[in-house]
Amino acid sequence: MGLSWMLERTGLTERAKQDVLRAAVDSGMNFVDTATLYGGGANEELVGAALHDRYDRTFLCSKVGLRAEQLDPPKTERCGDPDYIRQAIDDTLRRLRAETIDLYYVHRIDSDVALEDTWGAMAELVQAGKVRSIGLSEVSVQQLERAQTIHPVAAVQSEYSLWTRDPDGSGHTSDGDPAGDVIGWCREHTAVFVPFSPVGRGYLSGALAGRKFPEGDFRAENPRFTDQARSTNDDAVLPPIRAVADKHGVPMAAVAIAWTMLPSLDGGVSLPIPGTSSLEHLAENAQAADLQLDTEDLEVLAAIPAASGQRY
Ligand SMILES: NC(=O)c1ccc[n+]([C@@H]2O[C@H](COP(=O)([O-])OP(=O)(O)OC[C@H]3O[C@@H](n4cnc5c(N)ncnc54)[C@H](OP(=O)(O)O)[C@@H]3O)[C@@H](O)[C@H]2O)c1
């Protein structure tokens, strides 16, 4: 997402962005996440240009149902209309240079359209062979139950990280509705849980100290990135992560990402999707895969208080 939308772009050329994506897949990080929303299709085009010759070893995911009403500053609108979904997949496949994709999510539920109608249109895409499986993002258990009666939910993507966490996987959807135990629901229904923003949009890496964000960067207006919230979180959230990182000799981002994989130990499958525009950060984040957090680490991280500032 950050290569094309919402986060400060560091003036990278298209070639450099493609190099990051190729390096990820070539080093075994093959669970690739994009969306029609990101850059109004630009991110899907980028993924297509960078990875189309690697699709035999890429698990390719995109999302529909949120579109860019305006690119700069970013403004979104929801669209869960079945006709739109039928047309959007063809545009997505063209941009991705793919005949089919592995996983297609509804990015956000559109309250003007019955969930059953949106999800029914998604199920048709599986039957048509355009997508192999379908998922939902930022939904509640109640919504998952409704969808599941029509077609199996393969994956659920929700924000989940050391500063957006609940011991039972509960919390709230981006509409403010109680989400319920989404992680537990995934485990029981063999759906994959996909934590997004596992590095807390960069914050949990500890590398954003004092950084100001330009207009158009999502964090410039985000309640968790105000000076006031940061001054509280800098003292409460970051030191425990730093202590665990120092103990294991790994970057803080690796600790943050490894923590989001813990639901897998409980019999489920949790596949986080960290984002980066940097080859150096990519290598740091890969260290999460081999990091074994022990009981003492988990106690230190569990003691992190609730973050100051709403996530949206
Ligand atoms: N379903 C949804 O509604 C939704 C919403 C948001 C995101 N997502 C998905 O989740 C993915 C990741 O989310 P995200 O980009 O919001 O958050 P994230 O992965 O938590 O953080 C990305 C930010 O962290 C920085 N970063 C990453 N690794 C770092 C490291 N090792 N050291 C220092 N900084 C580091 C990146 O900067 P650099 O570029 O400098 O590394 C970038 O600014 C997105 O690409 C998107 O696919 C989904």
Q: At what angle do helices 295-302 and 238-248 cross, to 10 degrees?
A: 160
Q: How many CB atoms lie within 10 A of CB 202?
A: 22
Collapsing DSSP states into helix, strand and coil, what is residue 233? helix
From the CA of 275, how far away is ligand 1's center (Å)? Answer: 4
Under 8 Å between Cβ of 94 and 88: no
Model pLDDT, residue 173: 84
Ligand 1 atom 14 nearest Cα: 197
Q: Is the CB of 78 under 6 A from ligand 1?
A: no
Query: Which residues make Cβ contacts (< 8 Å) with residue 289, sequence separation at least 6?
Result: 258
Tokens representing 205 are: 């890496």
Bridge partners, 226 (sequence order):
none
Query: Which residues make Cβ contacts (< 8 Å) with residue 255, sequence separation at least 6?
Result: 241, 244, 245, 248, 288, 291, 293, 297, 301
From the CA of 7, how far away is ligand 1's center (Å)? Answer: 8
Each residue of 134-154: pLDDT tens digit?
Answer: 999 999 999 999 999 999 999
The amino acid sitting at 5 is W
Each residue of 224-239: pLDDT tens digit?
Answer: 999 999 999 999 999 9
Ligand 1 atom 24 nearest Cα: 202
Q: Is the CB of 58 under 6 A from ligand 1?
A: no
Which of 17, 164, 201, 242 has most ligand 1 atoms within 8 Å of its beta carbon, as the pocket-test mutant? 201
Ligand 1 atom 37 nearest Cα: 276
Write out the H or E segment, with its range, that includes residue 166: none
Q: Is the CB of 268 under 6 A from ligand 1?
A: no
Give me the helices (H) in the chain, please.
Answer: 14-26, 42-51, 82-96, 115-127, 141-148, 182-188, 227-236, 238-248, 252-260, 279-286, 295-302
CA distance 73 to 70: 7
Q: What is the pTM of this model?
A: 0.97
Ligand 1 atom 41 nearest Cα: 276
Which of 32, 193, 197, 273 has most ligand 1 atoms within 8 Å of its beta carbon, as the pocket-test mutant? 197
Bridge partners, 101 (sequence order):
131
Model pLDDT, residue 20: 97
Query: Which residues make Cβ contacts (< 8 Å) with residue 258, sequence separation at least 6?
Result: 288, 289, 291, 293
Model pLDDT, residue 234: 95
Q: Is the CB of 273 under 6 A from ligand 1?
A: yes
Residue 162, judged by CB atoms within 10 A of its CB (0-12, 13-18, 19+), counts as: buried
Nearest atom of ligand 1 to the alpha carbon of 108: 3
Under 8 Å between Cβ of 52 and 97: yes
From the CA of 114, how far away is ligand 1's center (Å)? Answer: 31
End-to-end Cα distance, the chain: 17
Q: Is the CB of 205 under 6 A from ligand 1?
A: yes
Model pLDDT, residue 72: 82
Residues of the chain short of pLDDT 70, as ranges, are: 8-10, 167-170
Model pLDDT, residue 240: 98
Under 8 Å between Cβ of 298 and 58: no
Residues acting as catalytic residues: 38
Q: Is the CB of 253 under 6 A from ligand 1?
A: yes
CA distance 143 to 179: 9
